[in-house]
Amino acid sequence: MDRNGFRGERLKNARLFRGITLSELAERTGISKQSISQYENGSTPDIQRVIVMAHELEFPPEYFLQEDSCKTVTEVTYFRSLATATKMSRTSQSIKLEYVAKMFEILAQYVSFPTLNLPEVEFTGSDDEFDDAGQKAMQEEIESIALKVREHWHLDLAPIKDIQLILEENGIIVTGFDTKDGKIDAFSQRTLIDDGDVFFVAVALGEKPKGRIFFDMAHELGHILLHPWSESLDLISKEEFKMRETQANMFASAFLLPRESFLQEIQAYPTDLNYYLHLKKRWNCSMQAMIYRAHQLGAITDNQYQYMMRQVSKKGWRTKEPGDTPYFLNENIFQGAIDVLFEAEYLNPATLLRLFKKYGVTLYAQDIEELLHLRKDTLKVESDSPRIIQLKRPTMEVNNAESKKQED
């Protein structure tokens, strides 16, 4: 390893990737906070310190000595998160998704991914607060856009069975992630690769049921279609961001539960919670999302909506509805791409890891499997060393001893 090649920005990236502060890394390594800050900003540590920091951050030591040669340019990241989600948590997940984009760029040299296929949409809605008339106009515009997307993707008005597959077929890359604090539901990111836009959607894994994950993906699709991607979200106010979240929720409801077909479905029993429990399996949406949609479409009154939501709370269904079980993503487009490459013997786990390393994505196989949401041990490298120990053939003495033992 070449000491002169130490790159401080990659030390900072690795630290933020793991979601830990300068103080925490200092405490774990026994290296002062001031020294680590200097290393991140251009000073060169001795090799022993590089190894110690690499060990604590769970990165290969050579990661810190390489240049990142991928050409991806990450733009805005939209987070669907709780207000209490920390900036560190959001930064950590954003950096992880950047690595997903880099690996997509590398794999795209070998496989043809679906091209981005989005309808032309011009959303005129504002981030400002609206009066009732403005809210209604915005709702109608979003309803129209959701219907346009279904038409563009040749979907009818029936329930969506697999939103992940639909997004991937139309060039939107989906992956899963795990957060330490559980306060981020999903996020989306636009990345410029080879002069073209690629959108990535990451959804939280864990205990979330199918309805919530479907809604999260539809919500992120709403951001992709409705909102600007050329500005920093740090420059907009909390109120403006809250309005964008509301708009993305409106889109998700309209896309997953189309007005015409959903109204027909609920008109017989619009206030019956048991009926919504039945519909939940068919529409792949939570009961609460469907009740909200029924109210939004005027199928139930304000009083009926409030009563039904009180009943949901009384039954303890706010956080976990009947039938909720953890939902797992399907094998995604990355697993498919890597399987094709391995089956065709273009690459194998060892050569793929070396290829990633060549472009500066020097991560351990376990991290790559988690980032790309791959099957466990997809990238397990089998030993190709020749076997130099062989079993002996039984000797005559052993054979005679066994025969005598059987006679006795």
CB atoms within 10 A of CB 246: 16
If one compares 3 and 310, the residue with the highest pLDDT of the two is: 310
Listed residue (266, 97, 287) closest to 210, CA to CA: 287
> For the residues 82-86, what does the mean pLDDT come to?
63
What percent of the chain stands above pLDDT 70? 88
Least confident of 88-92, 357-361, 384-388: 384-388
Q: Residue 67 pLDDT > 70, yes or no?
A: yes
- What is the CATH class of 3-65? mainly alpha
Give the span between the Cα atoms of 384 and 396, in whole angstroms: 34
Tokens for 329, please give them. 């993503």
Judged against a pLDDT cut of 50, whether residue 3 lies above it is answered with no
Residue from 122, 161, 120, 118 nearest 141 by CA: 122
Judge residue 36's burial from the number of C-beta atoms within 10 Å of its C-beta, 0-12 exposed, 13-18 middle, 19 or more buried: buried
Residue pair 192/168 in contact (Cβ under 8 Å)? The answer is no
Closest CA to 374 of 394, 357, 349: 349
> Confidence band (pLDDT; 50, 70, 90) for 393?
low
Whether 53 shows a pLDDT value over 80: the answer reads yes
Confidence of residue 142 (pLDDT cuts 50, 70, 90): very high
Of 99 and 403, the one with more pLDDT? 99
Domain-wise residue ranges, the chain: 3-65, 70-256+331-408, 257-324
Residue 76: pLDDT band with limits 50, 70, 90:
confident
**Residues across the chain:** 408
Residue 201 has pLDDT above 50, yes or no: yes
Phi/psi for 105 (5° steps) reads -60, -40
| Whole-number pLDDT of residue 162 | 96
Secondary structure (H, E, C), the chain: CCHHHCCHHHHHHHHHHCCCCHHHHHHHHCCCHHHHHHHHCCCCCCHHHHHHHHHHHCCCHHHHHCCCCCCCEEEEEEEEECCCCCHHHHHHHHHHHHHHHHHHHHHCCCCCCCCCCCCCCCCCCCCCCCCHHHHHHHHHHHHHHHHHHHHHCCCCCCCCCCHHHHHHHCCEEEEEECCCCCCEEEEEEEEEECCEEEEEEEEECCCCCHHHHHHHHHHHHHHHHHCCCCCCHHHCCHHHHHHHHHHHHHHHHHHHCCHHHHHHHHCCCCCCHHHHHHHHHHHCCCHHHHHHHHHHCCCCCHHHHHHHHHHHHHCCCCCCCCCCCCCCCCCCHHHHHHHHHHHCCCCCHHHHHHHHHHCCCCCCHHHHHHHCCCCCCCCCCCCCCCCCCCCCCCCHHHHHHHHHHHHC
Can you tell me the mean pLDDT for 161-174?
A: 96
347-359 residue pLDDT tens: 999 999 999 999 9
> Would the pLDDT of 169 be above 80?
yes
CB 121 within 8 A of CB 141: no
pTM for the structure as a whole: 0.87
Q: How many Å apart are CA 175 and CA 371, to the nearest integer?
A: 7
Ranges 43-57, 231-245, 267-281: which has the least confidence: 231-245
Summarised one tens digit per residue, pLDDT across range 323-338 is 999 998 988 999 999 9
pLDDT at 54 over 60: yes
Cα three-residue angle 85-328-19, rounded to 5 degrees: 30
User: Residue 72 pLDDT more than 90?
Assistant: no
How many C-beta atoms surround the C-beta of residue 403 within 10 A?
10
Structural tokens at position 242: 């809250």
Q: Kindly report the CA angle at 59 between 57 and 62, in degrees rounded to 5?
A: 130
Contact 75, 230 (CB under 8 A): yes
Which residues neighbour 295 within 8 Å (Cβ) at sequence distance 6 or greater? 302, 304, 305
pLDDT at 370: 93
Average pLDDT of every residue of the chain = 89
| 97 in Cβ contact with 190 (< 8 Å) | no
> Using an 8 Å Cβ cutoff, are 11 and 37 in contact?
no
What average pLDDT does range 339-368 have in this prediction?
A: 96
Task: Please return the burial class of 195, using the count of CB atoms within 10 Å of its CB with bins 0-12, 13-18 and 19+.
Answer: exposed
Give bridge partners of residue 172 from the DSSP assignment: 199
pLDDT, one tens digit per residue, over 250-290 is 999 999 999 999 999 999 999 999 999 999 999 999 999 99
* pLDDT score, position 2: 43
**Helical packing angle, 349-358 and 333-343, nearest 10°:** 120
For 298-320, what is each residue's pLDDT tens digit?
999 999 999 999 999 999 999 99
